[in-house]
Structure 1
Amino acid sequence: METNNLTTLVIGASGATGKELVNQLILMGQNVKVIVRPLAIIPDTWETNKSISIIKANVSEIEVNEMANYIKDCQSVVSCLGHNLNFRGIFGKPRKLVTSAVELLCSAIEKNSNGHPFKFVLMNTTGNRNKDLKETFSLGEKIVIGLIRLLIPPQLDNETAADYLRLNIGQNHENIQWVAVRPDSLINESNVTGYELHASPTRSPIFNSGKTSRINVGNFMARLIIENDLWEEWKGKMPVIYNK
């Protein structure tokens, strides 16, 4: 494993998967900046860890120049941002929380362009198709996904966030390379275990979903940042991750 000391900005770091990612990056010897809500609960160990810089702010209120300043000494960014699983988080504003953050981060990266491509990892979902591969849903899946998209705003937000990277940034951007990681049903586990990576889902995300532990997602995303061979394998793609 390549262990060059890098700095990664993580948004959504106080979430269940974001915390696992930060811990994995630290275990791999990396420096991490986290942007967390002012009232977010974070591990006490983060406050005293010299490898972690903590920025308390609401991502939706950060201007592009401010974000550009936050990432000027970073080489990569990971978004584990998601809507809170309560009524206000699902149905309230901002409805385009993840998409707006992706747009903000990409604009900030462009302001800091230095000729070296910046790595952008987005946590996404198997409920979102990779249209570059012409992935399709069965009729039943289309009906259910359509209803979810109509009734649960975060679904559309996840789709448009990935589409921004896929369509607006694309495969040959001068300053930004990206990977959108698609876990299936997320579960909690204490340790990293074996996991499988696929270009597309191998099971129905609606009727036969698999399991993916949050710590495995964090491990894979951290490895993407650090291991150049793994990055080259998946850049510009939307890998699906399942627990073995």
Structure 2
Amino acid sequence: MMIFVAGASGQTGKLLVQQLLNHGDSVKIVVRDRNSLPSTIKNHSKVHIIQANILDLSNNDLSKEVRGCDAIASCLGHNMSIKGLFGHPRQLVTDATRKLCNAVKENKPEKPTKFVLMNTAGKRNADINEKISLGQKIVVGLLRLLLPPHADNEKAADFLRTKIGQNNKDIEWVVVRPDNLINEEKVGKYNIYPSPIRSAIFNAGITSRINVGHFMAELITSNLWEKWKGQMPVIYNQNSVQNSNQ
């Protein structure tokens, strides 16, 4: 398979790329600085690097780059700095998601291209009317107003959910929702649920970035896709589930 990965130089993006390479797939990545990549990725024979800002690529160039790709994965996110939180581009994830989907549709692929978007457990899936407490609604509403990255994540997921939808002939999608992200060296046991089993605000669980990368790679490369396509699964480390207080 050939997989296009946006956000490949990020903490989770690097781990996803390595998981795909471990699986034997070829990976096409777009990064602003190739030197931000570890040598195991930068020098790998199955990695094709496009050095650019994804939003600066023309529609025609991006269509060429995603042509022939079986799947697209986005691990894009905002840097946790003042500039990253409040500077431009404020809709990095949404604009990149829209741009990539338009590139796929421009190519009119013979079979639907898989699109996996990394998101957050703080984003509700309105398709299944997930219920949250009034307190969480208030806090999430404030985050939406005060922190542009949260609103950006929400809009990106909703673009796939409402604009691409469930019956698009060119694109099938999954939005992966981890909870509080941590770093771990190895893939561990994790659980997947259709909806959060904990409050992302008041009783957050934990999800290791390497488990997110592993799950995203499994979605793309295995029959797991058929189970989760068109949905927004939530991923927790197994010990986070065992310690949950629902």
2:237 maps to which of 198, 223, 243: 243
Matched residue SS, 2:114: strand
Q: 1:206 aligns with which of 175, 192, 201?
A: 201
Find 1:224's aligned residue among 193, 212, 219. 219
Distance in 2, matches of 1:194 and 1:177, equals: 27
Unaligned runs of 5+ in 1: 1-5
Does the 8 Å CA contact 1:115/1:174 hold for their aligned counterparts?
Answer: no
Determine helix, strand or coil for the equivalent of 1:114.
Answer: coil
Q: Alignment partner of 1:181: what SS?
A: strand
Aligned to 1:141: 136
- Give runs of ≥4 in structure 1 deviating > 3 Å: none
TM-score (norm 2): 0.95
**How far has the Cα of 1:38 moved from its partner?**
2.8
Q: Could you say what the CA RMSD is over the residues aligned between the two structures, in angstroms? A: 0.9
Deviations 1:132-164 (A, max 9, x none): 010122111011111111110000000000000
Of 36-45 and 80-89, more deviation after overlay is shown by: 36-45
What do the CA deviations read for 1:155-183 (whole angstroms, capped 9, x no partner)? Answer: 00000000000000000000000000000
In 1, are the aligned partners of 2:62 and 2:100 still within 8 Å (CA)?
yes
1:3 — aligned with what?
none
The one-letter code matched in structure 2 to 1:97 is: L
The TM-score with structure 1 as length reference comes to 0.96
Post-superposition offset of 1:47: 2.5
Contact 2:18 2:41 in 1 (8 A): no
Q: By how many angstroms is 1:210 displaced?
A: 0.4
Q: Does 1:160 find its partner at 2:158?
A: no
Q: Which runs of 5+ in 2 are unaligned?
A: 239-246
Worse-superposed segment, 110-119 or 120-129: 110-119
Identity score, percent: 53
- Counterpart Cα distance in 2 of 1:24 and 1:108: 25
Letter in 2 for 1:12: G
Give the letter aligned to residue 90 of structure 1: L
Q: Note if contact 1:18-1:218 (Cα within 8 Å) is conserved in structure 2.
A: yes
